[in-house]
Amino acid sequence: MDALRYFLVPAMTLTGVAGFILGGPFVWLGRPVRLAWHRHLRGADATGYRPAERSQGALARDCTGCRYRTIYLQFHLMVALYLAFANSVATGTNPIWGTDGSAWQLIGSIASLAWLSAVPTLPVAHELMHRRHWFPRAVAKGLSAFYGDPNRDVAHIVTHHVHLDTAKDSDTPLRGQTIYSFVFQATWGSYKDTWEKQGEILSRLGHSPWSWRNVMWLQLVLVGAIILGVAAAAGPIAGFATVGAMFFAKMFVEGFNYFQHYGLAARGSDPIAKHHAWNHLGMIVRPIGVEITNHINHHLDGHIPFYELQPEPKAPQMPSLFLCFLCGLVPPVWHRFIAQPRLKDWDLHFASPSERKLAMAANTQTGWPAWATTD
């Protein structure tokens, strides 16, 4: 029964597929269904839920396989989602141009595509990129192409997991930084780190960074194939809608990073500890996030499968991830009511003396109060 929780991921994407098949106003189905589930379960808390022990023989092994089969479905469903979108435009059930209601249809299509390309897709891709076998990592690249960053695994694994909470990590936002500037910082950082790491590897092998062996070319191929495929099937407007969906999906993806490490400070030379990430342990976000919101437990060992990650209720916590997103869109609200109170608690009760010095220096630079002593 535990494995059934993770069927929320394909169910969410399947709803979007159904919306495009039905056409008309139903193209919006991919966007609000997630919010409806979250609203229904907004008071639920999963801090006490822990994965079942895997010492139950064949039953446990079956559940493990079921969990992974569930998340592998996401790739097939994302392909189906874009095929359904292209077909809805080509057949006229989703008129995204040329009618009085076209603007509504176009916005709804982009919103559903962007949301589903990010919210359930990123966590699945993230889980698979951390596996050691080539096949799940290849699927992760395919999934990441839907939010325009199929080489996300390179920067994520060799930069973020090594340098988290330091200035070297473009996925760690500074104190006082808004989500609007951060999403572009993180996007550029991901592409830049991938290019540099690939250049280093190819140079050691005696190849030019511009060689066809550079995985950055794969990015152009995969992303271009999606855009051109939709455009060929449904016309240039549908192709431009796909570009828009990818752009906003990437913004959602980087926005998620914004709330996982916001304002945290580490020296880089110290081992990763339980206070080096924010956690969101809500009932609905954990299965749809494929347990990525048990975030620090993942950072302690990135190779642990998602179904074995343990919640850390005594580690630093954030409120509902979706409340954070809404407040983050209004920076004064985010900083005043969520970020500053929690960072103050982090500085006073979690940070080491050296981390506290870094935090107070960041507060001074941002113009925030120095609420912790550094003596």
Encode pLDDT of 99-118 as tens digits: 999 999 999 999 999 999 99
Identify the residue whose tokens are 């992760």.
140
Helices and strands (H, E) in the chain, number of each type: 17, 0
Going by C-alpha positions, the residue among 6, 3, 4 that lies closest to residue 288 is 6
For the CA atoms of 308, 130, 150, 272, the dihedral, rounded to the nearest 10 degrees, stands at: 100
Instruction: Give the span between the Cα atoms of 50 and 46, in whole angstroms.
Output: 8
- Phi, psi (degrees; rounded to nearest 5) at 45: -135, 135
Residue 279's beta-bridge partner residues? 317
Burial class (CB in 10 A: 0-12, 13-18, 19+), 273: middle
pLDDT tens digits, one per residue of 167-189: 999 999 999 999 999 999 999 99
Is residue 339 in some structural domain?
Answer: yes
CA distances from 296 to 21, 48, 227, 352 (A): 39, 16, 36, 17
Is residue 151 in some structural domain?
Answer: yes
pLDDT at 346 over 50: yes
Where in the sequence is the domain holding 30, given as residue range(s)?
Answer: 2-366
Confidence of residue 56 (pLDDT cuts 50, 70, 90): very low
150 DSSP assignment:
T
pLDDT at 41: 44
Number of domains in the chain: 1
Instruction: Give the span between the Cα atoms of 169 and 30, in whole angstroms.
Output: 32
pLDDT at 92 over 70: yes
Structure-token pair, residue 21: 């098949």
Is residue 279 in some structural domain?
Answer: yes
Helix (H) or strand (E) holding 117: helix 102-118
Grouping H, G, I as helix, E, B as strand and the rest as coil, residue 361 is: helix
CA distances from 121 to 39, 137, 253, 347, 353 (A): 21, 14, 9, 33, 38
Is residue 233 in some structural domain?
Answer: yes
